[in-house]
Amino acid sequence: MRGPSLAVKGGILLAAVFVALKFVLPLLTAPLPMSLIYLYLFLTIIGIVVYGTLSGESTEALLGPIFRFLSGEGIGGAVKSARLAVLVLFPLLVGWQTYGGLAPNTQPPAESRTIHPAPPGEFVGLSNPLPNTPENVMMGTGLYAAYCLPCHGPKFNGNGAASDGFNPPPANFADPGTIAMLQESYLFWRIKKGGVGLSVEGHPWKSAMPRWEVELSDDQIWKIIMAEYAGAGQKPRTWE
């Protein structure tokens, strides 16, 4: 029994690659830009054409159904209707793409902000020099209440009374995706240098996080870090 022709198999492969890149991949990692998806689809088509034209027989298997579909000879029923739909829709699609490319953009530019950009080398691997004692945590909690609570909130969840107007919003320390996946040295960098210390991918021009090195000593910052982990019920990430 004959299976689907090479052209149909190629079409299925192309559709599968598109679905995988567009819908499945974003479930695992960051979504790909459409320009990259088009590039991968183009490469897939090249691969299908190269494979399909290796011999005269495979060329016929690849191009024969396409030619018959286009010419309309020897087809009927649903395939005939599909052919008519393709022939009508193709020029309309080209027209729509042209219009879309020329029409003025009504959306603001996309912002792909990196939440946790890499810290400068001098802040990598630093250890908290202070012992994690109840006294230090208590002092850190007091400092947190005075300096951090208005934005990050009494529940350490970024829901402080001063947070509403800021975009991006203050970090939610109770979320396992924030300080729980970071080392203490990372927090030390972010608190000490503030939003303006971020690299370009962190969009420092939008961050309201103060540069606390102007007002707090290093020891005070380390104590605040202890208090944030304790208050949010999290533990710093370690390499062990």
Under the criterion CB under 8 A, does residue 121 sit at the interface with other proteins?
no
Tell me which of 108, 121, 129, 131 binds other proteins, using CB under 8 A.
Answer: 108
Q: How far apart are CA 65 and CA 60, in angstroms?
A: 8
Number of H helices, E strands in the chain: 9, 0
Under the criterion CB under 8 A, does residue 59 sit at the interface with other proteins?
no
Q: State the number of CA atoms in the 13 A half-sphere of 229 facing the CB.
A: 25
Q: How far apart are CA 65 and CA 69, in angstroms?
A: 6
Under the criterion CB under 8 A, does residue 129 sit at the interface with other proteins?
no
Cβ closest to other proteins, residue 118 vs residue 181: 118
* String of contacts with other proteins for each residue 159-188, x by CB under 8 A: x-xxxxxxxx--------------------
Under the criterion CB under 8 A, does residue 210 sit at the interface with other proteins?
yes
Tell me which of 10, 65, 197, 236 binds other proteins, using CB under 8 A.
Answer: 197
Cβ closest to other proteins, residue 43 vs residue 53: 53
Under the criterion CB under 8 A, does residue 142 sit at the interface with other proteins?
no
In 3D space, the residue among 9, 1, 17 whose CA is nearest the CA of residue 66 turns out to be 9
Q: Which long-range contacts (CB under 8 A, 24 or more apart) does 97-104 make?
A: none
Residue for token digits 């202070």? 130
Tell me which of 27, 77, 122, 215 binds other proteins, using CB under 8 A.
Answer: 215
Question: Which tokens in the block code for residue 55?
Answer: 């011999």
Under the criterion CB under 8 A, does residue 107 sit at the interface with other proteins?
yes
Count of residues touching other proteins (by CB under 8 A)? 59
Under the criterion CB under 8 A, does residue 106 sit at the interface with other proteins?
yes
Closest distance between other proteins and the C-beta of residue 199, in Å? 5
State the DSSP string of 31-69: PPPHHHHHHHHHHHHHHHHHHHTSSHHHHHHHHHHHHHH
Tell me which of 53, 58, 71, 133 binds other proteins, using CB under 8 A.
Answer: 71
Residue pair 219/188 in contact by the 8 Å Cβ criterion: no
Which region holds residue 199: left if phi is over 0, alpha if psi is between -120 and 50, else beta?
A: beta
Chain residues in the site for other proteins (CB under 8 A): 60, 64, 67-68, 70-73, 87, 90-99, 102-109, 120, 150-151, 153-155, 157, 159, 161-168, 193, 195-200, 203-206, 208-210, 214-215
